[in-house]
Amino acid sequence: MPEARVIPLRPEDDPAAPPPATDWDEQVSRALEFVRRRVTGDYDTDEFGFDPDLTDHVLLPALRPLFSRWFRVETQGLANVPDIGGALLVANHSGTIPMDALMATVALHDEHPASRRLRLLGADLVFQLPLLGALARKMGTTLACNEDAERLLRAGELVGVFPEGFKGVGKPFSERYTLQRFGRGGFVTAALRTGAPIVPCAIVGAEEIYPMIGNAKTAARLLGLPYFPITPTFPLLGPLGAVPLPSKWFIAFGEPIETASYGPAAADDPMVVFNLTDQVRETIQHSLYRLLLQRRSVFS
Amino acid sequence: MPPAVVLVTGVSRWLGGALAAELAADAGLERVIGVDTVPPAPNILRRLGRTEFVRADIRSPLIAKVIESASVDTVVHMNITATPGAAGGRDPMKELNVIGSMQLLAACQRASSVRRFVLKSTSAVYGASPRDPAIFTEAMQARRMPRGGFGRDSLDIEGYVRSFARRRPDVAVAVLRFTHVIGPRIDSLLAGYLRLPVVPTLLGHDARLQLLHEEDALAVLTRAATGDFAGTVNVGAPGTVLLSQAIRRLGRVAAPVPGPAIGPLSRLTRATAVADWSREQVELLHSGRVLDTRVLREEFGLTPRFTTSAALDDYARTLAPVIAPELVGSVTGGAQSVVGRVAEGVATGRSLFRRRGDAPVVPGLRAVRDL
């Protein structure tokens, strides 16, 4: 039984109580300091374009209400993500818009004891798009290619990858929670070359945020996109269709699969690569089924 | 074996002149010969010291005679123009860059005295596209051919240098791929661009920039000319900044321009001689380009003294900021103190209010409230 919490009725009676907290002025003061840093360029960015100052003070706070209030994300197995050193987080991808990547970033930053930053790998399309591409880089995303992945892993970063890619995010609602093909296993070779463990991650809930019931292929071709989603609310309700449905989310981090014992040479052995790819895929699929059984309904 | 006679092309520009001056100051060198099509400006000429200046076009066979007669053993080729404006159009620029380099290499191939060839190349050979990895190592190639003239010329020249190295295996060839050089004195392309009070940028894109301080550039060139490194090396300072960040640190104002409008705008600024920047530079602003400098540090044996931000700060000393950081600091600082004072006032007001509303505090007696 948890200990009863003592709630002081009149804090000024307690001699140890801190002086009355004027919370808002500290916040305003911090915001002003942030504005000064931004206007004068007095902040650091890394060679991938990651801007921790912007991420911590604007992007993550903007995502937090979605994380805790809207999707009420519950995390499991955070202990499976190592506190330090490089690791490759491999997750299922869904939801028409890669919201799952953003929620996983918030989960690992806010709830992991070591406040780990998830460095995502994104498709080249992301970096071609104006605004979105620049914003993605500032959040720490970089191009999904082996060179970048290996460099991040060697630098001891936690790298997040969605091997399904557009096949996963843009799949119809009827195929929800079935994993798509896992590309060519490029992520496994990156892990093998750097000896980084692979952490399989299953995300449940993202499939229902924008249930894609159709794909306007002509519109997609015209806009140069891999798919153009039609959901029950989009484009029917216009901008209102951009509001995601408030599904209940679970993010489960599975036990790490170590790769160091294979040695870096194994990256050139297709058999090892395919076996590991399948192992990761199966693990994620099983955890998806397990989480789906645990979930009482889509929205609670 | 240390070099005795060094020939530097492109000596009339700041970096070439500075290298010639640096080499001329080295008593171990017998002769330093500077070559360019135009005579150096007075301020560069003053520094050149005992450098012998030869006004020659490297496109003409005269250069072969100079190399032959002076029995040059080290050639530093840095006469590659980055913008059409400086050469008088894209055609003369290509002529000077590519044909000039071919002539120079042909002359070197003939001269048996040449032992060393240093090419000042550029990171533009890697191109710039959204499909690029974030960081280029020397072994990588452009995923998409560079579209601008400078990048294509540089790729061609590197190709000719490689075939020259095959034909003359006794010559040590060093190819230095420089990022943007910046500093208080050099008149580089990026320096000119960042000097604009309102800097046009590409809307919705924010490139990563890796810079190199002019002094480090000079140190690398000097070491390449007098040392024994052979091979290709990326030359850039540690660390990167984002373009938006660089503009802010210099106290400039960024003016994001939609992609299609940037071509006409660059033509306009070039025509009005406000700034000389080509479409290629703008494409670079699309995604930026960062070089891996492990080879520079470990094999070439030089770590730049200035990081990218330190180089930028040093350059900022020469500019009068449009938005002074001190002003921004004092405005936000003033606002902070106002907020602090208001908060204090509110807190005292609240405590006064509370004291009046609450029951008198009896020592030793705790307040108990029925719920």
Q: What is the DSSP letter of A257?
A: B
Q: Which residues of B93-108 are buried (b: 16+ CB within 10 A; e: fewer)?
A: bbebbbebbbbbbebb
Q: Read off the tokens for B199.
A: 């800097």
Please give the Cα distance from B310 to B241 (Å, whole number): 11
Looking at the domain assignment, is residue A163 inside a domain? Answer: yes
In tens, the pLDDT along B290-311 reads 999 999 999 999 999 999 999 9
| pLDDT tens figures, B201-244 | 888 889 999 999 999 999 999 999 999 999 999 999 999 999 99
- Domain holding A190, by residue range, is 43-209+244-294
Contact (CB, 8 A) for A137 and B206: yes
Closest-approach residue (CA) in chain B for A146: B133
Inform me whether the C-beta atom of residue B135 falls under 8 Å from chain A C-beta atoms. Answer: yes
> Residue B67: what pLDDT?
92
Domain parsing of chain B, residue ranges: 5-183+210-237+289-301
Residues B255-293: tens digit of each pLDDT:
888 877 877 777 777 777 666 666 667 667 777 889 999
Asked if residue A100 is part of any domain, the answer here is yes
pLDDT tens-digit readout, B143-201: 888 877 888 899 999 999 999 999 999 999 999 999 999 999 888 878 888 888 888 88
Helix (H, G, I), strand (E, B) or coil at A63: helix
Q: Which among A29, A48, A137 has CB closest to B336?
A: A29
pLDDT at B361: 52
- The answer to whether residues A160 and A51 touch, using CB atoms and an 8 Å cutoff, is no
The CATH code that applies to domain B5-183+210-237+289-301 is 3.40.50.720
Q: Which residues of chain B from 247 to 286 reach within 8 Å of chain A, CB to CB?
A: 247-251, 259
Could B339 and A28 be called an inter-chain contact, meaning their C-beta atoms sit closer than 8 Å? yes
Evaluate whether residue A1 is within a structural domain: no
Q: How far apart are CA B355 and CA B131, in angstroms?
A: 66
The encoded tokens of residue B98 equal: 């590519």
Contact B328 A36 (CB under 8 A): yes
Check residue A84 and give its pLDDT. Answer: 94
Please judge whether A131 and B204 are an interchain contact, meaning their C-beta atoms are less than 8 angstroms apart.
Answer: yes
pLDDT in tens, B32-87: 999 998 888 888 888 888 899 998 887 778 889 999 999 999 999 998 888 776 77
Rg (alpha carbons) of chain B, rounded to whole number: 28
Whole-angstrom distance, CA of residue B225 vs CA of residue B23: 9
Spell out the per-residue pLDDT of chain A, length 300, in tens. Answer: 455 665 555 545 444 444 444 578 888 888 999 999 999 999 999 999 999 999 999 999 999 999 999 999 999 999 999 999 999 999 999 999 999 999 999 999 999 999 999 999 999 889 988 899 999 999 999 999 999 999 999 999 999 999 999 899 999 999 999 999 898 889 999 999 999 999 999 999 999 999 999 999 999 999 888 999 999 988 888 888 889 999 999 999 999 999 999 999 999 999 999 999 999 999 999 999 999 999 988 888
For residue A49, the chain B residue with the least C-alpha distance is B208
d(CA B15, CA B256): 31
- A77: domain CATH number is 3.40.1130.10
Q: Does B346 touch chain A (CB under 8 A)?
A: yes
pLDDT attached to residue B355: 59
If you count them, how many residues does chain A have? 300
Residue in A41, A124, A127 nearest the CB of B245: A41
Contact of B334 with chain A, judged by CB distance below 8 Å, is answered with: no
Q: Is residue A260 part of a domain?
A: yes
Across the interface, do B248 and A51 touch by the CB < 8 Å criterion? no
Nearest by CB to residue A45, choosing from B240, B342, B367, is B240
Q: Does A282 touch chain B (CB under 8 A)?
A: no
Task: Give CA separation, A228 vs A121, A132, A167, in Å.
Answer: 22, 17, 13
Cβ of B351 and A33 within 8 Å?
no
Total domains, chain A: 1
Whether A224 maps to a domain, the answer reads: no
Contacts with B361 from chain A: Cβ below 8 Å: 13
Whether the predicted pLDDT of B358 surpasses 60: no
CA B75 to chain centre: 22
From chain B, pick out residues whose CB is under 8 angstroms from the CB of A50. Answer: none
For residue A158, being part of any structural domain is answered with yes
pLDDT band at B356; cut points 50, 70, 90: low
pTM for this model (two decimals):
0.87
Nearest 5°: phi and psi at A2? Answer: -70, 150
Spatial distance between the Cα atoms of B222 and B215, rounded to a whole number of angstroms: 10
Q: Do A32 and B336 touch (CB under 8 A)?
A: yes
Q: What length does chain B have?
A: 371
Interface predicted TM-score of the whole assembly (ipTM), two decimals: 0.85
